[in-house]
Amino acid sequence: MARLIDAVEGRPRAAFAAFLALHALVWTALPSLLYANLPLDVIEAMTYGREWVLGSDKLPPLPWYLAEIVYRITGIDDALYALCQITVIVAFVLVWQTARPLVGAAGALAAILIIDGMHFFASSATKFNHNVVELPFWALAGFAFCGALRHGRLGQWAMLGVALGLAFWAKYFVAVLAVPMALFLIADPAARRSLRQGGPWLAAAVALAIAAPHLVWLAQHHFPPLGYVEERASPPRDLLDHLVRPAWFLGGQLLFLLPSLVIAAPLAWPQAKGVAAAQGDAFDRRIVSLLAFGPALTLFAFAFVTGRNTSAMWGFPLWLFLGLWIVMFAPAALDRRRLAAILALWATVFVISVGAFVADYLVLPRFDHRYRAAFFPGDLLSVAITQRFERATGHQPAYIIGSMWDAGNVAHYTRTRPQPHVLIDGSPRRSPWIDLDDLHARGAALVWTDGDPRVLPHNLAAAAPGAEVGAPFDLPYHGAGEGTVHVGWALLRPRAP
């Protein structure tokens, strides 16, 4: 440990690089080895990504573009797990770059080790989705905001605009970062001076220009994601929800923060010899406090005022700068002994996280028999459906009709190129890229795994009148657990020329 601390203190950049390499290697390898099937969010990315849509009825499309690009270049599923870690590593590097001028290289490393205790950057970041993709843009926005306020350079304000604009393409949730930033510029006397210098207005113009194509699409299509937002942030049932729902949000976030607080505990030890020196000036500390707590307080205020529901998983980007805030405001100095303790606690949390992840997919399935999407036989389902369609028609399907999960798996795991298009839930509204005339002319395979496999669901039947229901069949789940998927399928024959 002494030699390790010598290396960390003497070459903190090398230590940080080693940490990044270890984090990326472990959290890329684990899902590659333990997931037999892509997670739901990644199947969704594959379904939307190949259509290059400008928008959807759910979320903005940037994550789907990135997933599609990586998959087209590599052609392997494991690359999508690596893509997750690339986004996490970029976010960590940007937080490090923000922290280093304020607390030094060792303090910046401690800040990263503290936040790495959260599952948002580890086990939950193995599924490529909008929560993961927003991390680097959120971190870039914080880095640029801090630098722009401290130095006032127009380039940094433009960088802030780029970060916010791209974050909007990643997830609309960026609003809970942009709002407290804007309020800080108005309320803080030192920050308010920047309004007279034009930097914030440049950032707003750049962000608006980048977001404009998607904003135009939303306006032209009457803002279809509002229905999805209404469903996820459901309205209050009574007045009590204005108190209960914010409390549940805070409680969930505190639970997720516990490992990070354990790692940071040495900075709160009694310090007879090492009183912490002031880290940054008062303005720096206000900026970092805004980045660390402003978005979470904004979301709490939203839940309190509206009474609407919140999701604990929305916490993904909220705490990126919490480690920096803890190091800056710690009552104890980050001396050699405390750095060693932080490193040891981080290693303990890291090993526990890895062990829990492995146990969840190798050990627990033998006992709890809980459904895990990672064991779904998507590859077997794709082969079974495409073979049945090919035997009946002489060619493989160009269209699959079914749920995002069922049809998305069939389309992704098919060996043909180009992969089939998916009519999600049999709904043209959910799949506006589908040419229904072409679908009926070329035929389609229909698939479902919920309900009676012998009865075609009404929503799928409406999209494919005249579809012929085939004999249902069963497929075994992959992995250590037991289970069977009961599959219903139907054939919409191609229309005669």
* Ordered DSSP codes for 201-247: HHHHHHHHHHHHHHHHHHHHTT-THHHHHHHHTPPPSSTTHHHHHHH
- Domain count across the chain: 2
Residue that has been written with the tokens 């880290």 in this structure: 279
Q: Is residue 110 part of a domain?
A: yes
Q: What is the pLDDT of residue 480?
A: 64
Same domain, 98 and 164: yes
Beta-carbon contacts of 278 under 8 Å, excluding residues fewer than 6 positions away, are none
Q: What is the mean pLDDT of residues 292-318?
A: 91
Beta-carbon contacts of 277 under 8 Å, excluding residues fewer than 6 positions away, are 333
What rounded mean pLDDT belongs to the chain?
91
Q: What is the mean pLDDT of residues 1-5?
A: 65
Q: What is the mean pLDDT of residues 254-269?
A: 93
Q: Is residue 258 part of a domain?
A: yes
Question: Percent of the chain, pLDDT > 70?
Answer: 95
Candidate ranges 85-99, 218-232, 310-324; pick with highest mean pLDDT: 85-99
- Which range is least confidently modeled, 124-133, 276-285, 363-372, 394-403? 276-285
> Do the beta carbons of residue 381 and residue 403 sit within 8 Å?
no
Q: pLDDT grade, residue 275 (50/70/90)?
A: very low
pLDDT digits (tens, 9 = 90+) for 167-196: 999 999 999 999 999 999 999 999 999 998
Q: What is the pLDDT of residue 279?
A: 63
Please give the residue range of the domain that contains residue 327. 2-362
Same domain, 177 and 294: yes
Q: Is residue 368 part of a domain?
A: no
Same domain, 319 and 432: no
pLDDT digits (tens, 9 = 90+) for 199-216: 999 999 999 999 999 999
Q: pLDDT grade, residue 365 (50/70/90)?
A: confident
- Measure the CA–CA gap between 173 and 151, rounded to whole angstroms: 28
- Residue 377, pLDDT > 70, answer yes
Q: What is the pLDDT of residue 100?
A: 92
- Residue 272, pLDDT > 60, answer no
Q: Is residue 438 part of a domain?
A: yes
Q: What is the mean pLDDT of residues 330-335?
A: 84
Same domain, 213 and 348: yes
- Which range is least confidently modeled, 301-315, 385-399, 457-471? 301-315
The residue out of 362, 396, 416 marking a domain boundary is 362
Q: What is the pLDDT of residue 314?
A: 86
Model's pTM, two decimal places?
0.92
Q: Is residue 419 part of a domain?
A: yes
Length of the chain: 497
Q: 3 or 81, which is more confident?
A: 81
- Measure the CA–CA gap between 336 and 8, rounded to whole angstroms: 10
Distances (CA, A) of 282 to 154, 158, 301: 23, 25, 26
Same domain, 223 and 289: yes
Distances (CA, A) of 374 to 43, 68, 137, 405, 465: 11, 20, 28, 12, 33
Name residue 130's amino acid: H
> Do the beta carbons of residue 320 and residue 95 sit within 8 Å?
yes
Same domain, 336 and 449: no
- Residue 486, pLDDT > 70, answer yes
